[in-house]
Amino acid sequence: MSAPAHPSPPPPGTPRKVIAIHAAAPGAATAPGGCSSGSCGSSDGPADLPAHIWEKVKDHPCYSSEAHHHFARMHVAVAPACNIQCNYCNRKYDCANESRPGVVSEKLTPEMAGKKVLAVAAEIPQLSVVGIAGPGDALANPAKTFKTFELIQQTAPDIKLCLSTNGLALPDHVETIKKFNVDHVTITINMVDPEVGQHIYPWVFHNHKRWHGLEAAKILHERQMLGLEMLTQAGILVKVNSVLIPGINDQHLKEVNRVVKAKGAFLHNIMPLISDPAHGTHFGLTGQRGPSAAELKALQDECEGDMKLMRHCRQCRADAVGMLGEDRSQEFTSDKLGDIAATYDPTARQAYRDFVEKERADQRAAEAEQKAGLAGAHEKALVAVATKGGGRINQHFGHASEFQVYEVSAAGAKFVGHRKVEHYCAGGYEIDAAMPSILDALKDCAAVLVARIGHCPMKELKEAGIEPVQDYAHEYIEASALAWFQARLAATRPSGTARVA
Amino acid sequence: MAYKIIASACTACAACEPECPNDAIVEKNSVYAIVTDKCTECVGHFDDPQCLAACPADSIAVDKSVPRYAA
């Protein structure tokens, strides 16, 4: 790859019609150089975190939103059994056309999983993390989970290991988790009150008995809290996942956020309920709706204080492979593993990591430069970006299956979420039918930054009040979004002169 | 008497296998099965039959004629 170019100044802003720039709430603007919380700044860069924590998260795409531009993860589906039932999960379901947690196409033995990790590492140098996230519960299958970790440590010791659990069996396994140097654990905590929990969990299997209702939720809650405390005491980073279920735990999740933060969780990931009736889950079949993107963001914003909120979760499958938002698992089915694994060469991954280290420093410097130009500005806006990864605006509008959304303000460019859309372009043909849903997905965005865009969608975006921008093709996302915003502010202020320095 | 796993409902997750106090659960034709001679329905071991309580897919077929259920 060529040396990264800093974004050039945008062309002189021509007067444009009214755009969706929202004035920030009083007091919400960050004072230049100031910071009101432990999670200051727009990115989770090294400046925001203690050095030992940054070292742990910097290459983990799930724990660092910055890392998710550069690094890939894979889940190995060695853990099919589960010890609880959740109303949003159907353990019988398995479909190759589907992408959501709890689903896999092929279950693996630990030996096959070890081989698969090598195969993926050989093909995808961005691979930095292997996680066990089911499709059941990693710790309801402790023998398979830890055997897999052991094998990976033998063959590719530089790969970080992580696991996801509902927490029920967690206190029994903290010692083993330490022993295998698993330094990231995700616990799904949907409630800290069994009264709420009884509407989410019909039963748990614990101490040789199936418990139901309130009793079940009480046991799960106590085990989750104990496990969380034990992990944080052991210095293991904990991410808490919470499924936002409107009408059941939506308001309660603020309390969950407060409690898990107090107990030392590093990151909170509030995810929307997936409740398609076709999945056959209890919530799907009883018509329980999921939250809208706006409801989700509102709750995330409310919960974001001293603790980080994860905004870049793609709710991936238990056998997902690749960068977040992409799934290359079909390239690595068991029949293909042996040949690919044989080509494994760890130096390619090391070279990639060295490259990323430089690239990220450049990106942060470019962002800081643009941020300085916005000092004192009180406006903010949402900007959508088409990207294939690497932290650059490098995707054609029509090829995007999701847009990443950044909030730009004097505080910087902050990643706030992603919007999944249908491809506008398929095999060279434009699909006009996809456009209304894309416009709807981006309706609160002031601009969409792309590598290229055709005339028709450009016109439709403009008519919808969303500015299509190609000026920053192949440049850094954060710096470009801020540069665009500066130009936009300069163009829309009454005198036409920029108040920005 | 013994319990039986309904093969068509079994997802082969193996949640039952380590719970069985009699090592009566084996993998057979890509799903799991209970060895009839070994199954005691957990009588004398646990209050509840373990495979039944652990199965996330509720796929254990219960034979109601066994002593535990005859009472």
Check the CA dihedral A51-A52-A53-A54 and report its sign: positive
Structure tokens at A328: 């290359």
Q: Do A81 and B48 touch (CB under 8 A)?
A: no
Among the ranges given (A112-121, A129-138, A303-312, A426-435), the one the predictor scored with the smallest mean pLDDT: A426-435
Which one is predicted more confidently, A63 or A254?
A: A254
- What is the model's pLDDT at position A96? 45
Confidence of residue B18 (pLDDT cuts 50, 70, 90): very high
Beta-carbon contacts below 8 Å between A and B: 47
pLDDT (mean) for A99-128? 80
CB A265 within 8 A of CB A228: yes
The CA distances from residue B51 to A184, B10, B18, B46, in Å, are: 32, 12, 9, 11
pLDDT, mean over chain A:
82
* Partner-chain contact A143 B12, CB within 8 Å: no
What is the topology classification, in CATH, of domain A46-341?
TIM Barrel (3.20.20)
pTM over 0.90: no
Say yes or no for a CB contact (<8 Å) between B11 and A91: yes
Chain B contact for A83, CB < 8 A?
Answer: yes
Which of B11, B22, B30, B50 to mutate to probe the A interface, most A CBs <10 Å?
Answer: B11
A contacts of B48 (beta carbons < 8 Å): 208-210
Most B CBs within 10 Å: which of A210, A215, A219, as the mutation test of the B interface?
Answer: A210
Q: Given this model, what pLDDT does residue A53 score?
A: 79
> What pLDDT is stored for residue A357 in this prediction?
85
Under the banding of pLDDT at 50, 70 and 90, the label for residue A97 is very low
Asked if A274 and A90 count as a contact pair (C-beta separation under 8 A), the reply is no
Residue A393 has what DSSP assignment? -
Residue with tokens 């081989």, as numbered in its chain: A115
Percentage of chain A beyond pLDDT 90 is: 43
Return the SS3 of A6. Answer: coil
Quick check: A353 pLDDT over 90? no
Q: Is A91 on the interface with B (CB under 8 A)?
A: yes
Nearest CA in chain A to B15: A81
Tell whether A212 is within 8 A of chain B (Cβ): no
Which of helix, strand or coil describes residue A462? helix
Stretch A194-220: mean pLDDT, rounded? 96
Considering only residues A211 and A156, tell me which one the structure prediction assigns the higher pLDDT: A211
Q: Which residues of A touch B11 (CB under 8 A)?
A: 80, 91-92, 94
CB A241 within 8 A of CB A260: no
Helix axes A346-372, A477-492, angle to 10 degrees: 20
In the prediction, which pLDDT does A14 show? 37
Residues in chain A closer than 8 A to B53 (CB atoms): 205, 208-210
Q: Which residues from chain A sit within 8 angstroms of residue B15, using beta carbons?
A: 80-83, 136, 140, 205
> Quick one: closest CA in B to A202, which residue?
B56
Q: Where in chain A is the domain with CATH 3.20.20.70?
A: 46-341
Asked if B13 has any chain A CB less than 8 Å from its own CB, the reply is yes
Nearest CB among A91, A94, A208 relative to B56 is that of A91
Q: Other C-beta atoms within 10 Å of A409: how many?
A: 24
- Distance, in Å, from the CA atom of A258 to the CA atom of A261, rounded to the nearest integer, reads 5
Check if A136 contacts B (Cβ < 8 Å). Answer: yes
What pLDDT sits at residue A428?
61
B36 touches chain A (CB under 8 A): no
CA distance A244 to A274: 9
Q: Which of B12, B13, B53 sits opposite A210 (nearest CB)?
A: B53
- The verdict on A92 touching B (C-beta cutoff 8 Å) is yes
Q: What is the pLDDT of residue A491?
A: 87
- Give the number of C-alpha atoms closer than 13 A to the C-alpha of residue A332, restricted to the C-beta side: 29
Locate all alpha helices (DSSP H) within A311-466, ordered by sequence: 337-341, 346-372, 435-441, 455-463
CATH class (in words) of the domain with range B4-60 = alpha beta
Tell me the CB-side half-sphere exposure of residue A160, using CA atoms within 13 A. 23
Task: Say what the pLDDT of residue A25 is.
Answer: 36
- Do the interacting molecules here have an ipTM over 0.90? yes
Name the CATH superfamily, with its identifier, for domain A22-32+376-492: Dinitrogenase iron-molybdenum cofactor biosynthesis domain (3.30.420.130)
What is the pLDDT averaged over residues A469-485? 94
CA distance A124 to A463: 40
For B8, nearest residue in chain A (alpha carbons): A92
Whether omega for the bond prior to residue A135 falls within 30 degrees of 0, making it cis, is yes
Q: How far apart are CA A464 and CA A480, in angstroms?
A: 22
Does residue A163 surpass a pLDDT of 90? yes
How many CB atoms sit inside 10 A of residue A489's CB? 20
Average pLDDT over residues A117-127: 87
- From chain A, the residues in CB contact with B13 under 8 A are 80-82, 91, 136
* Residue of A78, A208, A211, A215 for testing the chain B interface, max B β-carbons within 10 Å: A208
Q: What is the pLDDT of residue A90?
A: 82
Best of B5, B8, B10, B13 to substitute, by most chain A Cβ atoms within 10 angstroms, is B13
Contact B15 A92 (CB under 8 A): no
CA angle A252, A257, A258 (to 5 degrees): 100
Percentage, residues of chain A above pLDDT 70: 84
Rg (C-alpha) for chain A, rounded Å, is 23
**Pairing mode, strands A127-132 and A72-75:** parallel
Contact call for A210 and B57, based on CB within 8 A: no
Instruction: Tell me how far the alpha carbon of residue A79 is from its chain's centroid.
Output: 22
Predicted local confidence at residue A358, as pLDDT: 87
Predicted confidence (pLDDT) at residue A306 exceeds the cutoff of 80: no
Q: Is A497 exposed, middle or buried (0-12, 13-18, 19+ CB in 10 A)?
A: exposed
* pLDDT digit string, tens, across residues A252-305: 999 999 999 999 998 899 999 988 888 888 999 999 999 988 899 899 988 887
Residue A170 distance to chain B (closest CA, Å)? 16
Q: Which of A81, A92, A208 sits opposite B15 (nearest CB)?
A: A81
Smallest Cα–Cα separation from A228: which of A140, A167, A162?
Answer: A167
A208 contacts in chain B (CB < 8 Å) = 19, 46-48, 50, 53
Question: A213-217, A251-255, A453-457, A468-472: lowest mean pLDDT where?
Answer: A453-457
Mean pLDDT lowest for which of A43-52, A110-119, A146-155, A322-331?
A43-52
Range A311-334 average pLDDT: 75
| Tokens (6 digits) for A157 | 């010791």
Nearest-by-CA chain B residue for A211: B53
